Chain A
Amino acid sequence: MASTEGILRAGVRAAPRRGLPPWLLIAPTLLLLAVFFLVPYVNMVRMSLLVKPAVGAYEPEFTLANYARALLDPFHWRVMYRTFWLAGLTTALTLLIAYPVAYHLSYAPRRRRRWLLMLLISPLLVSLVVRGFAWMILLGRVGLVNLAVQRLTGHELVLIGTPTAIVIGLVHVYVPFMALAIAGALQNIPPDLIQAARSLGASPWAAFRRVVWPLSLPGVQAGTLLVFVLAVSSYVIPILLGASNVLVMPMLIVQTLLDAFNWPLGSALSMVFFGLTAAVVALYLRLLARGMPWTRA
């Protein structure tokens, strides 16, 4: 290791210094990020601290009133709570559905694996809006699901416009992401480990619980994180399947910005929402890391 490093370093040192400095390679990316990410963001932070006049967007006068309003209105907290709850539920259900899919995918013969993989990601080829409409048709008052339920129970089931419909839609959209993240981790587990566990007297279930599951946790972490962050900030599916009945944070922020034309308050809500999401993610990562002590050793 040390000697390899030595050789590499020597090689670098021996290389003639000419041409462009290496950081120039990432300059376009940095520039893009600065213009389209950093500048708007900084602008938004600034806006969240400005005064909203009765008429017009904002006045160049600093205040913390927007944050006070964003944080003190119990209505905002109800929406916040609903948003996190729906995202959390979506993440949990997605994990439950995607793990067996990923497991099957990882241990399928190579040919079949390719087909399954194509099947799994094929929904991503269809626009999110189209998939949202498809679920509206399926879950609607005269949709397939409702007709079947009516035939069986005699009761009408209201789905569109409820959190249930949103969760169904979100889970459907995010299962491929979760499954791919977990399959990646599962495929990294050498089959020898499972055989070793079996030869030491572990039943198939015990081998899964004690060896496969813990070693797949990095994939579970990546998948749940990805899905949670996507779900918490989802906008299209909640609008379509919640029929504007179920308010979540991204909708509330857009409404505040565009409908109420209150840019300072919308910006403040964005910041609070962002801060809370980051805090939830950080807490989750810390808890999960406690379950994977070997990754820190």
Chain B
Amino acid sequence: MSSITLRGLTKRFGAVAAVRELDLEIQEGELVTLLGPSGCGKTTTLRLIAGLEVPDAGEVLFSGRPVTALPPERRNVGIVFQNYALFPHMTVWQNVAFGLEMRRESPRLIRDRVAAILDRVQLHGLEHRYPRQLSGGQQQRVALARALVMNPAVLLLDEPLANLDARLREDMRFYIRQLQREVGITTVYVTHDQAEAMVLADRIALMRDGRLQQIGPPEEIYRRPTNAWVAEFVGLSNFIPGRVAGRENGLLVVRTAAGTFTCAGEAEAGRDVLICVRPEALRFDETHPNQLRGTVRERVYLGNLVDYRVEAPGGLQLRVQADPSRAVAPGRAVNLSFDPSAAWAVHAREA
């Protein structure tokens, strides 16, 4: 097992920079998800760590040891590809044994290790099937077993659940999380699905246009996004534009068209900011100090909650998600309030 350090990593494809001066530190045994929209450079980053791509600049280190110049077979990484990349001409057993055979391990050790890992991923009894005789979830587990049987220093997963149906995907999230904890292996997991990232990650690294936007635990990413883009990409968010008037009790005071609000955040007075308020943080009552009035325009029933569009002063369109037990009819004027600590100011214009 090792830690992973990326230093100033840059990769260009022709004129396009897929990854730009990326710095990232991943601890031993940690599971970090690289999250971002397609084309943000997350897969390229994974391939750079794997050694499947050579960086134009920067370094990759495993436990402080530079591996930038090493080909993939000498990095001791386990890779699970998006489409699993199982060898179609080999049985489950042969697929899993392949790496150990390449390492010229003894037949006895190969037999024991393959049997043990197949037990662990619950594929016992399917050893002699070919990949196309397996379901998607089973193929996924063969791919995991094939990577893990090598006892790799680092496990790299590239959207491993993208090809599974929704139900199975959810099960596999927890399964992979549990397996990773049991094995205790340093893992980098690429996904564009924020729910997946939330469930799995110790820390989420958010990427956009080849750059790191924010890295932190899921809760921090959700509650304290560093910019409006992060807030918008992870979950739903309302943005109330305003200008910082000053500071009070450690909170920012922001003047907006809908009133003056206090919220958490870092910004100097006079700065234009956006207050991020999650739809579930807005409430139809006056319990919190930040209060505003609005008119309900639309109501959508979602089962576990009701999604409202509320029009507030200054042309502000707010989304409110509330408990279905107390329905508010469209057209009604309502009082809304939100907790200052549940709101977070980010700079209006991105730096």
Contact = CB atoms under 8 A, between A and B. Distances in A.
Are A and B interaction partners?
yes
Interface of A: 190, 192-193, 195-203, 206, 210-211, 214-215, 292, 294, 297
27 contacts: A190-B85, A192-B81, A192-B83, A193-B87, A195-B72, A196-B81, A197-B87, A197-B98, A198-B52, A198-B71, A199-B51, A199-B77, A199-B78, A200-B73, A200-B98, A200-B99, A201-B73, A201-B99, A201-B150, A202-B102, A203-B73, A203-B102, A211-B89, A292-B89, A294-B89, A297-B129, A297-B133
A24 B333 CA distance: 72
A210 B98 contact: yes
Interface string B77-98: 1110101011111100000001
Contacts of B98: 197, 200, 202, 210
Contacts of B150: 200-201
Determine the main DSSP class of A at the interface with B: helix
A199 B88 contact: no
A192 B81 CA distance: 7
B102 A200 contact: yes
A193 B85 contact: yes
Contacts of B72: 195, 198-199
Determine the main DSSP class of B at the interface with A: loop
Interface of B: 50-52, 71-73, 77-79, 81, 83, 85-90, 98-99, 102-103, 129-130, 132-133, 146, 150
Contacts, number: 65
A294 B99 contact: no
A43 to B, nearest CB: 46
Contact of B88 (A203, A210, A294): A294
Of B79, B88, B129, most A-chain CB atoms within 10 Å? B88
Contacts of B129: 297
B255 to A, nearest CB: 54
Contacts of B130: 294, 297
B79 A199 contact: yes
A246 B207 CA distance: 71
Nearest to B52: A195
A80 B199 CA distance: 71
Given A192-B81, A192-B83, A199 B89 contact: no
Given A196-B79, A198-B72, A215 B102 contact: no
Contacts of B102: 197, 200-203, 206
B77 to A, nearest CB: 6
Given A196-B81, A200-B150, A211-B89, 7 more contacts: A195-B72, A196-B146, A199-B52, A200-B146, A202-B73, A294-B90, A297-B130
A192 B84 CA distance: 9
Nearest to B103: A201
A214 B72 CA distance: 22
A110 to B, nearest CB: 14
A203 B150 CA distance: 16
Contacts of B90: 294
Contacts of A198: 52, 71-73
A211 B146 CA distance: 15
A186 to B, nearest CB: 14
Contacts of B50: 199
Contacts of B77: 199
A199 B89 CA distance: 18
Nearest to B50: A199
A15 B74 CA distance: 61
